Amino acid sequence: MSILKRIHHVAYRCNNAKETANWYKEMLDMDLTVSISEDHVPSTKEPNPYMHIFLDAGMGNVLAFFELTGQKEMDRDQNTPAWVQHIAFEVESVDMLEKMKKDLTAKGLDVLGLTDHGVFKSIYFFDPNGHRLELAANIGSEEQMKKLKDIAPEMLEEWDKTKKPPRQAAWLHDQEFLKK
What pLDDT score does 171 carry?
55
Is residue 177 predicted with pLDDT exceeding 80?
A: no
Average pLDDT over residues 75-91: 92
pTM of the predicted model as reported, rounded to 2 decimal places: 0.89
Average pLDDT over the chain, rounded to whole? 91
Residue 57's nearest CA partner among 89, 35, 84, 26 is: 89
Confidence category of residue 168, pLDDT binned at 50, 70, 90? low
According to CATH, where is 3.10.180.10 located in the chain? 10-68, 86-138
CATH topology assigned to domain 86-138? 2,3-Dihydroxybiphenyl 1,2-Dioxygenase; domain 1 (3.10.180)
Local confidence band at 132 (pLDDT 50, 70, 90 cut-offs): very high
Please state, in angstroms and rounded to a whole number, the distance separating the CA atoms of residues 57 and 140.
Answer: 23
Q: What is the CA radius of gyration of the chain?
A: 19
Write out pLDDT tens, residues 13-57.
Answer: 999 999 999 999 999 999 999 999 999 988 999 999 999 999 999
Gap between the Cα atoms of 166 and 148, Å rounded: 13
Cβ-defined contacts of 105-114 (< 8 Å, 24+): 107/26, 107/27, 109/27
> So what's the pLDDT on residue 139?
96
Topology (CATH level 3) of domain 10-68? 2,3-Dihydroxybiphenyl 1,2-Dioxygenase; domain 1 (3.10.180)
